[in-house]
Structure 1
Amino acid sequence: MSTAALAILLVASMLAVGTTLRAADFRALADRPAVPVLAVLANVVVIPGLAVVLASLAGLGADATFGIVLAAAAPGGGTGALLTLHARGDLAVGAALQGVYAPLGLLSVPLWAWVAGYDPAPAGPGGVALVAGGLSGQVVPVAVGMWLRRRRPAVAQRVHEVSRRVADVLLAVVVLYFLATSGTRLPEVGWVTAGVIAVVVLACLSPALVPVFDPPAARRAVAMTTAVRNLSLALFVAAAAGPVVVLTLLAYGLLMYALSVPVALKLARTAAPVS
């Protein structure tokens, strides 16, 4: 998957989200501090910890365990806000959390790799640049979209439609990429490994159904942004690792989208539209 296509996907996704947001939406989020606090704890403590425990209980090999832990410890995937939009979740929550998760991954990935018994090379300047680029690709389009909605609402509506269509097409390309690169190679990863990945992804999606906090739209946003991990960062850290680690991460990406996209569409059918 080319870097340019991923960058366009990120920008188009966040522009589509930004054209639906107002500053008041973020001010309302500040009145609900439990939502971001619990979401951050889930992403940097609960999900990685669950991955370590499940991999240990399943008796997975070292490389497969390493790949799963890297994915589980890397929050802030670029399409989390887009899936929040499709799931009719709280877009202010989704956009804010996605921006918070990305830099946290620089800390949580090496920390959880160490907890799992590995000694990965630190992300270093390259990892920082990767995260910084991702953040700019999130913040700038959201800001532009919000400005358009406030100053040029008719233009904002047209931009929303086009950017959302572009993002949806590129998301489909990403899913097909994971299907082509790892769909036929799941037996190489092992069905037990695939099962562990599926359980981790389902745990990420569980906030949408578990009434930990209200409103439901916030839960859907937490679920979608938690389900989509920052696999670019995980693959960057795994660059010097063996092929099994990389294949495990690709399998994670396949199962991540295979489970989260249908859940997002199902939630959209059962949720009221978000204004």
Structure 2
Amino acid sequence: MDSALTSVALPAALAIIMFGLGLSLTVEDFARVARHPKAVAIALVCQLVLLPAIAFGLVAAFDLDPLLAVGMMLLAASPGGTTANLFSHLFRGDVALNVTLTAVNSVIAVVTLPLITNFALVYFDPADGDGSLGLQFSKVLQVFAVVLIPVALGMFTRRRSPGFAERADRPVRIGSAAVLALVIVGTIAAERENIADYAAQIGLVAVAFCVLSLTVGYLVPRRLGVMDRQAVACSMEIGIHNSTLAMTIAISLLDNVQLAVPAAVYGVVMFPIAAAFGWLITRTSRADEDEAVPVAP
């Protein structure tokens, strides 16, 4: 793997994204959990329990290569991405709930992500000559650093200089998207000799996982009595993952490019699928509202 991508581009991309997340957060976003406990609890159960179970079922059903299987589990354990806020806004979701879920889940992921990844490494037992493949305690501390320190710096910046935070929000979002695109291209280029085989193995799994994530994120809250706007927010939060975090852990901490391939492929397919899904549920909810409006005699 190109050392510049490993040592500079990936950590920089993640730092920009997480700093941008921090610029959009306040302490109030964490406090909001107490006011919407049902929606937050349901979304977190879907994110932390159902998604890893779905990913596990898919990789077992498709009999993936062990490293790709671990990469899918790493992706499933990653928290929602900041782009979920934009998609939620576009499709009439509760953006404040998205912000809260991203904040809370990013903190929880510091614990759950290493647990799920290490479980996958033990279960699928990918070949690893020196036995170093795993998130030991020192690497867990690095996960903590790359996830939470930039967020804390962003929140501190917003608190001290809210005007700057407002002005920087859009450029940081654009920069995050641009760097993410470069990282995905770099990851695919690094594995260009094997990319056709990987696409054949992981492409359908990534698409299925994205569709199932969005569907579970919407239908489970709705079936449990969560209002439609909050269900849309949950769907986008659960379906749009922080693929940069998954790639950073795979390449920079676990030193394995193949583990990053599922996240790179998912980073490409999740946006058009989320857009199509958002359009579909918005169209369906509008049709239901029209049917519910009584016709004047």
TM-score, normalised on structure 1?
Answer: 0.74
Question: How far apart in 2 are the matches of 1:24 and 1:218?
Answer: 19
**Matched letter for residue 86 of structure 1:** L
Which residue in the other structure is 1:85 paired with?
A: 85
Question: How far apart in 1 are the matches of 2:11 and 2:242?
Answer: 20
**Of the two, which has the highest radius of gyration?**
2
Counterpart contact for 1:7–1:137, Cα < 8 Å: no
Deviation of residue 267 (structure 1)? 7.2
2:173 is the alignment partner of 1:164: yes
Which residue in the other structure is 2:247 paired with?
A: 231
**Matched letter for residue 56 of structure 2:** V
Counterpart contact for 2:210–2:273, Cα < 8 Å: no
Counterpart contact for 2:26–2:155, Cα < 8 Å: no
SS in 2 for 1:210: helix
Which stretch shows the higher mean deviation, 98-107 or 182-191?
182-191
Structure 1 segment 1-275 matched on structure 2, within 5 A: 1-60=5-64, 64-73=65-74, 77=78, 80-87=80-87, 88=89, 89=95, 90-116=98-124, 122-148=134-160, 152-182=161-191, 185-189=194-198, 191-207=200-216, 209-210=218-219, 212=221, 213-214=226-227, 215=230, 216-225=232-241, 230-235=246-251, 239=255, 246-247=257-258, 249-263=259-273
Deviation of residue 160 (structure 1)? 1.5
SS in 2 for 1:230: helix
Deviations 1:194-216 (A, max 9, x none): 32233223333334543524412
Question: How far apart in 2 are the matches of 1:122 and 1:12?
Answer: 25
**Matched letter for residue 71 of structure 1:** M
TM-score, normalised on structure 2?
Answer: 0.70
Counterpart contact for 2:55–2:72, Cα < 8 Å: no
Deviation of residue 66 (structure 1)? 3.8
Question: How far apart in 2 are the matches of 1:202 and 1:123?
Answer: 29
Question: How far apart in 1 are the matches of 2:74 and 2:49?
Answer: 8
Question: How far apart in 2 are the matches of 1:7 and 1:236?
Answer: 8
Question: Compared with structure 1, are the counterparts of its residues 267 and 94 closer, same or farther at alpha carbon in structure 2 (3 Å cutoff)?
Answer: farther
Question: How far apart in 2 are the matches of 1:181 and 1:75?
Answer: 23
Deviation of residue 116 (structure 1)? 4.2
Deviation of residue 252 (structure 1)? 0.7
SS in 2 for 1:81: coil
Question: How far apart in 1 are the matches of 2:192 and 2:159?
Answer: 41
Counterpart contact for 1:81–1:95, Cα < 8 Å: no
| Structure 1, unpaired ranges of 5+ | 240-244
Deviation of residue 268 (structure 1)? 8.0
Question: How far apart in 2 are the matches of 1:202 and 1:153?
Answer: 37
Question: How far apart in 2 are the matches of 1:235 and 1:74?
Answer: 13
Counterpart contact for 2:134–2:254, Cα < 8 Å: no
**Matched letter for residue 145 of structure 2:** G
Question: How far apart in 2 are the matches of 1:157 and 1:123?
Answer: 36
Question: Compared with structure 1, are the counterparts of its residues 261 and 163 closer, same or farther at alpha carbon in structure 2 (3 Å cutoff)?
Answer: same
| Root-mean-square deviation over aligned CA pairs | 3.5
Question: How far apart in 2 are the matches of 1:43 and 1:226?
Answer: 12
**Matched letter for residue 54 of structure 1:** L
